[in-house]
Structure 1
């Protein structure tokens, strides 16, 4: 399963100008906010969570909220993520991959999730 998302960094900047850093709490945990030292990184994390939910074919929804996805950085500073236990169990997830980049005012993320189950049937 694969998902992709694109976010204008200015969107995050405007949210923070209007609501302050608490705007980030709508889609990031306090630990993620510490990692997101710039609006570009915060936009990348937002795009990542959207891409991950799209890879699951459910989007950000009642079944998969922003806080069901936790972004972190590994020992080499590469982005990665974990999912709530119910998502791992429901989709029998065995492997995860994430790539985030930002350039020219945009952040983009691509997520790949391997699992035994999909929310979309490929055949009938």
Structure 2
């Protein structure tokens, strides 16, 4: 079992949104994810989640795993869950996982727990 965590200042995301608009979101979110995130705090949470997942996988975001290889959605209760794209799943072979995202005090934090 591996754990990854990440924290992001929400105002950093707000500045990127102001500067780059929708292109910023498209850089790291799938269209389905863009539909889920309506506020900068949610966008920051998804950013932190993807970073935490990459850290738990031991590779970080880069050539082995891109932001778009990680797809965040919500379960029937509204809790965050994630999956990997087909090629990334072949490489990382996740057997079980859990994801938590929280926002408070101008920050978004995420924790990912992964079994391979």
TM-score by length of 2: 0.95
In 2, the alpha carbon distance for the partners of 1:53 and 1:17 equals 26
Query: Which is higher, the Rg of structure 1 or of structure 2?
Result: 1
Structure 1 segments of 4+ aligned residues over 4 angstroms from their partners: none
Compute the RMSD of aligned alpha carbons. Answer: 0.9
The structural deviation recorded for 1:93 is: 1.5
2:91 equivalent in structure 1: 90
The structural deviation recorded for 1:89 is: 2.4
Give matches, 1:43-62, under 5 Å: 43-62=44-63
Confirm whether residue 27 of structure 1 aligns to residue 33 of structure 2: no
The structural deviation recorded for 1:24 is: 0.8
Q: Which runs of 5+ in 2 are unaligned?
A: none
Q: Which runs of 5+ in 1 are unaligned?
A: 116-124
SS of the aligned residue for 1:93 comes to coil
SS of the aligned residue for 1:33 comes to helix
The structural deviation recorded for 1:30 is: 1.3
